[in-house]
Amino acid sequence: MQIIVDEAGMCHEPKCLVPIIASKAEQVVLIGDHMQLRPIIKCKEAAELGMDTSLFERYALMDDSENLKTNVNCTMLEKQYRMVNYLLSFDSEK
């Protein structure tokens, strides 16, 4: 079974883990941008304990040696297709 989680960068870690564990998924695909909106945590204590970091962000920030230890294959796409380059460069310059 395969699980695909879209907008995984803003998904609370338990919301990602429950379907993964419950389905005994053989393959998990997390899709999103860890540099955009993070999980919204209203409880200060939960945020201090790291609940404001998504599973997607944890994997995205791992280095290659950590990925090998955890059997994670993390692929980052470098080309974006969501907007024209002119708008992308305008946003980056401001």
Q: What is the CATH number of the domain that holds 38?
A: 3.40.50.300
Burial of 94 (0-12, 13-18, 19+ CB in 10 A): exposed
The model's confidence at residue 65, banded by pLDDT at 50, 70 and 90, is: low
Residue 78 is part of which domain span? 2-93
Strands 27-30 and 2-5 come out as parallel
pLDDT above 90 as % of the chain: 17
pTM for the full predicted model: 0.69
Q: Which of 5-9, 63-67, 71-75 has the lowest mean pLDDT?
A: 63-67
Number of structural domains, the chain?
1
pLDDT digits (tens, 9 = 90+) for 11-42: 988 888 998 899 988 888 888 888 888 899 99
Going by C-alpha positions, the residue among 70, 48, 8 that lies closest to residue 62 is 70
